[in-house]
Amino acid sequence: GGYDWESSLRQKPQARTVFQAGASNWCKPVALDKDRVNGRESQDEVVGILKYTTRIPMGREMLLEQKKKKNLQHLSFLVDGKGFLTGELVWGKVQGFSWWPGMVMPWKTKSVPPGMRRVEWFGDGMFSEVSNTAAFTKCFCKNSFASLPVYKEAIYQIIELAGERCGKSFVKAKGDKEKELKLMLDWAFEGFLPTGPEGFLPAGMGMFINPSKKKKKLHLSKIPVNVFLSPDRADFCLSCGSSEIEVPHPLFEGGLCLRCKENFSETLYRYDEDGYQSYCTVCCAGLEVILCGITSCCRVALCHWGRKGFGLGTTEFHLFYPSIPADQRRPIKVLSLFDGIATGYLVLRDLGFKMERYIASEICDDSIAVGMVKHEGKIEYVNDVRTITRKHLAEWGPFDLLIGGSPCNDLSMVNPLRKGLFEGTGRLFFEFYRILTLLKPKEDDNRPFFWLFENVVFMSANDKSDICRFLECNPILIDAVKVSPAHRARYFWGNLPGMNRTLAASLDDKVSLQDCLENGRQAKFDKVRTITTKSNSIRQGKQGSLPVTMNGQEDYLWCTEMEQIFGFPKHYTDVNNMGRMQRQKVLGRSWSVPVIRHLFAPLKDYFECE
């Protein structure tokens, strides 16, 4: 409109409203009218009587719980007579949005506008600067609760926090979130008895802190050494000295904070060439360490931590079974389905496991020949997995470890003629599930039983969901590119301890393609594509070049080089007069040795080793 908006065909743009503006954009707050209903979606939104409560967190994420605790410990209570104090649970309203539950948070700026409050919203964790706030007992929308999952989650979180402050527990729900939410709401509508709304006010609400004064940060004083050596060590983290304990230390009398627990989980099962841990059992550092004097113990610790009782472990916080004392461990008995070229046996042998029996089901003659020749007939081969019965398992067992990875031809999205999980070779997954069901120990049998199932990542979402439904767990994704020169992303389902810890390469792992090549050959790439049973998988891209040059010309990977890429010794598949394509096929169906070593290493705490 050159003349006026009213005479123009162009629509007048809406005024831009910044509802999360900074302190400089503050305007005079609008006072709340106790009887006002405007701005709410309907009269049903004003239901009245909901007061804050929470429970002692039972299944809450540790990071969120830790964040809330920190916020409560370091609050500065703002008192200006024009609103709620820092740490209070409130309803807040931003223009254009409905009322939403939140918590008043401290300001990060030196100048605090009067009447404005910085609110963190439950449900999404966002922050807003608002002046339109009300007590949590003033508004509660039944319609939103029934239709908006985010709103329901926000109500759950705010009542959970209120209950935590009141010391209220909802253990009767037994982990059922819907039932727990119902108990929370009943408790809220009954008036948050016995403490009432005053019970969930943040600690120290009565104290006044002038917002103009600089906030003081609390620092934990350095804990003296005599405290660490005292019998009462459960109140702080043994690794960093923090007072925020999440779990007990699995090997010492004491605790671990959340961050140190994660570090401990990642480093506990990293072993050096000499069979000892690479990192300290206490502080997870990898500098100067001392070895345990007990011959059967593989633990290490920093020198100032060596003391009586070291190496006597308790039940680890991230394991399904407690570790077995070294003098009570026995050789492992393994059943391997779809065994391939005996990757499982090779890794267990290299890790030093004593094997009582290793039974493998495999139908490929070339793969069987590799296992028979390279492992000197120590592997007992049986027929097709579909012929294994309950009677066979009773005669061979009981087994300590079940491993397998069914063929992925009919599961991989790369195959345009794939038949899915319920047709073709995809149905072989159910053979693994059948045998897993038969091998699982009964409820009164406390012996450790571990299992591992592997398959391709690039499968349909429905097939993955069905596998998870039958195995009753979600997979972890491990890509061998972190410990080898080739990409090889695979899903692993199972109950092996420490499966989800970080994958890290050891000094012996060859992570670059050049490290795997013979003399006189030059790698054109540092990493290569996933090597499959197809010859064109060696080429980098559909019409890409070959990965190696020799005498100025491109060349394919030699068989010995492919073996080292997978982590096998040289000439591992050089049996039965197999040609290059035959050897590539058996390698393309195998597992990556460093990945399986990473998964099997924690089992050393359960079974006898050399």
One domain for residues 489 and 352: yes
Strand 548-550 to strand 553-555: parallel, antiparallel, or no bridges (unpaired)?
antiparallel
> Which residue reads 């997995």 in tokens?
385
pLDDT in tens, 184-238: 888 777 777 777 777 777 765 433 333 333 333 333 334 444 444 455 556 678 7
Mean pLDDT of 56-66: 44
Dig out the tokens for 246 from the structure: 């999440």
Range of the domain at 378: 331-496+596-605
One domain for residues 252 and 392: no
One domain for residues 403 and 294: no
CATH number where 426 lies: 3.40.50.150
pLDDT in tens, 583-600: 999 999 999 999 999 999
Q: Is the pTM of this model over 0.75?
A: no
**Does 262 have pLDDT greater than 50?**
yes
CB proximity list for 3: less than 8 A, separation 6 or greater = none
Confidence category of residue 15, pLDDT binned at 50, 70, 90: low
> Which residue reads 């490929």 in tokens?
364
Alpha-carbon distance of 252 to 385, in angstroms, equals 44
Q: What one-character DSSP code corresponds to residue 471?
A: H
- DSSP string for residues in 7-41: G-SSPPPPPP--TT--GGG--PPPPPPTT--TTSS
Confidence category of residue 150, pLDDT binned at 50, 70, 90: confident
Domain-located, residue 581: yes
Please count the residues of the chain: 610
Give the pLDDT score at 206: 37
- Report, in angstroms and rounded to the nearest whole number, the Rg of the chain calculated over CA atoms: 31
One domain for residues 450 and 562: no
One domain for residues 448 and 347: yes
One domain for residues 490 and 429: yes
Give the pLDDT score at 63: 44
Query: Quick one: how far is CA 413 from the chain centroid?
Result: 26
Domain-located, residue 214: no
Domain count, the chain: 4
Domain-located, residue 10: no
- The highest-confidence range among 198-202, 292-296, 570-574, by mean pLDDT, is 570-574
Dig out the tokens for 196 from the structure: 């009432």
Pick from 314, 301, 368: nearest CA to 341: 368
**Does 272 have pLDDT greater than 70?**
no
Last residue of a domain, one of 318, 353, 373: 318
Give the pLDDT score at 421: 92
Whole-number average pLDDT of the chain: 76
Domain-located, residue 506: no
Alpha-carbon distance of 410 to 430, in angstroms, equals 14
Give the pLDDT score at 234: 60
CB proximity list for 33: less than 8 A, separation 6 or greater = none
Domain-located, residue 209: no
Alpha-carbon distance of 89 to 140, in angstroms, equals 14
pLDDT in tens, 433-489: 999 999 998 878 888 999 999 999 989 989 999 999 999 899 999 999 999 999 999
Cβ atoms 398, 333 nearer than 8 A: yes
- DSSP string for residues in 375-401: TTT-SEEES-GGG--HHHHHHH---SE
Cβ atoms 202, 213 nearer than 8 A: no
Alpha-carbon distance of 415 to 409, in angstroms, equals 7
Give the pLDDT score at 219: 35
Alpha-carbon distance of 29 to 209, in angstroms, equals 23
One domain for residues 584 and 446: no
Alpha-carbon distance of 56 to 381, in angstroms, equals 54
Mean pLDDT of 142-161: 74
Cβ atoms 340, 346 nearer than 8 A: no
Give the pLDDT score at 318: 44
Domain-located, residue 238: yes
566 conformational bin, left if phi > 0, alpha if psi -120 to 50, beta if neither: alpha
Question: Regarding predicted confidence, which is higher, 170 or 52?
Answer: 170
Alpha-carbon dihedral angle through residues 185, 187, 188, 191, given to the nearest 10 degrees: 160
Dig out the tokens for 388 from the structure: 């294994």
Give the pLDDT score at 320: 62
Residues marked active site are found at 408
> Which residue reads 């120290």 in tokens?
204
One domain for residues 285 and 343: no
**Does 430 have pLDDT greater than 80?**
yes
One domain for residues 82 and 193: yes
Q: What one-character DSSP code corresponds to residue 455?
A: E
pLDDT in tens, 376-418: 999 999 989 999 999 999 999 899 999 999 999 899 988 888 8
Domain-located, residue 212: no
Of the listed ranges 30-39, 314-323, 500-509, the one predicted with least confidence:
30-39
pLDDT in tens, 305-330: 443 444 434 334 445 677 888 889 99
